[in-house]
Structure 1
Amino acid sequence: MNYEKDSLLIRDYINGNESALEILIDKYKSRIYSFIFSKVMEKDVTEDIFQDTFIKVILTLKGGGYNEEGKFLPWVMRIAHNLTIDYFRSNKKMPTVRESSGSSDDEYNIFDFLGNSDECSETKIIKNQIDQDLRYLVTQLPDDQREVLELRIFKELSFKEIAEETGVSINTALGRMRYAIINLRKVIENNNIILTVD
Structure 2
Amino acid sequence: MDFQNKTDQELVHLYLKGKEAALSQLITKHKSRIYTSIYLLVKDEYLAEDIFQDTFIKVIKTLRAGKYNEEGKFLPWVLRIGHNLVIDHFRREKRNPTITNSDGFDIFDVLGIHDDSMEEKMIKEQTHKDLKYLIHLLPSEQKEVLIMRHYGELSFKEIADLTDVSINTALGRMRYALNNLRKMMVSKELTLKIG
Q: Same fold per TM (> 0.5)?
A: no
| Structure with max Cα Rg | 2
Normalised TM-score (structure 2): 0.45
Normalised TM-score (structure 1): 0.44
